[in-house]
A and B are shown apart, each in its own frame.
Chain A
Amino acid sequence: MSESSEKNVKAKVHITLKNGVLDPQGKAVEHALHGLGFGGVGGVRQGKYIEVDLPQQSDKAKAKSQVEDMCKALLANTVIENYSVEVVD
């Protein structure tokens, strides 16, 4: 399948917690990094990274708006999360 489609558009989605929303996992990672002696660490926020393959879509702008819809509908919870979408070939 994948070899046959000439252009394989892929969206890279980053989902992060909004500022001000407590991130206990990020805090735990921060704490652990301090414990390991990484004194220069100021803060850590943990998020998600999702890749979406769009083999049917060759228009990058359309692809981006399509994936943004996916973020609003399912991939992110906009009560607490922000998202950003980057489309690559």
Chain B
Amino acid sequence: MKAAVIVFPGSNCDRDIALALEQSIGKPTTMLWHQDTNVPDVDLIVVPGGFSYGDYLRCGAMAAHSPIMREVKRRADKGTRVLGICNGFQIITEAGLLPGVLMRNKDLKYVCKDVLVKVEDSQSAFTAKYKVGDVLRIPIGHAEGNYFADEATLKELEDQGRVAFRYCTPTGEITDAANPNGSQHNIAGVFNKARTVLGMMPHPERLADKHLGGTDGRAMFDALVETLA
């Protein structure tokens, strides 16, 4: 599998995701500067976490309108897998690759901690190594992760089974108390229609190494390698 990570001014999880991918792929990942016009032929494009353009104006808004994102959209339309994590999720919703928007957390504060998420779908290249109903421990770190979409969009997402992960209790119940940011339907991650684009607030790369306290995120990268090899 070949993967590329896009680096915007202010990205700060670019090196992290590249390392997590390298662990699973066995070779280094291509880093693309946001002004690069040549996007190499890859199987996976990652839009990483961080504070692109300082989160100024709206999280992800300015990065979403950078030239490279037009190319990312073109590739996504052709089926190249795209993964947006945290700020990357904000960027790809702003860019229109996924519906909805990430709003300010309900308690207004930035929060960094491990959360539990329930796997809602295992029919994608990202989630193939999980089982529906698995409860994963994956960290979050954001102030704007409160997923919002209008009723019609939400219904469409639910009807088409496009919710990838939901915040949950240790036993997999979907409750308000388990929701760290107030997102609608406890949504932590969503797919596009073809399940080739995934946006998620939790950082799977941050728990893919035993020295960091957990490995639940690792299976996502292993799954991508197996599916896209």
Contacts and interface: CB of A to CB of B under 8 A. Distances in A.
In the complex they form, whether A and B have CB atoms below 8 Å apart is answered with yes
Contact of A74 (B62, B101, B148, B149): B62
Interface residues of A, number: 11
Given A21-B148, A22-B148, A28-B108, A74 B103 contact: no
A66 B107 CA distance: 37
Task: Tell me the interface secondary structure of chain B in the complex.
Answer: loop
Contacts of A74: 57, 61-62, 65
Give chain B's interface residue range (CB within 8 Å of chain A).
Answer: 20 to 34
Interface in B68-105: 94, 99-101, 103-105
Interface string A26-61: 001000000000000000000000000000000000
Contacts of A75: 57
A28 B182 CA distance: 15
Contacts of B62: 74
Interface string A66-87: 0000000111010110000000
A33 B103 CA distance: 23
B105 A80 contact: no
B113 interface: no
Contact of A79 (B101, B104, B106, B107): B101
Interface in B103-121: 103-108
23 contacts: A21-B148, A22-B103, A22-B146, A22-B148, A24-B104, A24-B106, A24-B107, A24-B108, A25-B104, A28-B108, A73-B65, A74-B62, A74-B65, A77-B58, A77-B61, A77-B94, A79-B99, A79-B148, A79-B149, A79-B150, A80-B101, A80-B103, A80-B148
Interface of B: 57-58, 61-62, 65, 94, 99-101, 103-108, 146, 148-150, 182
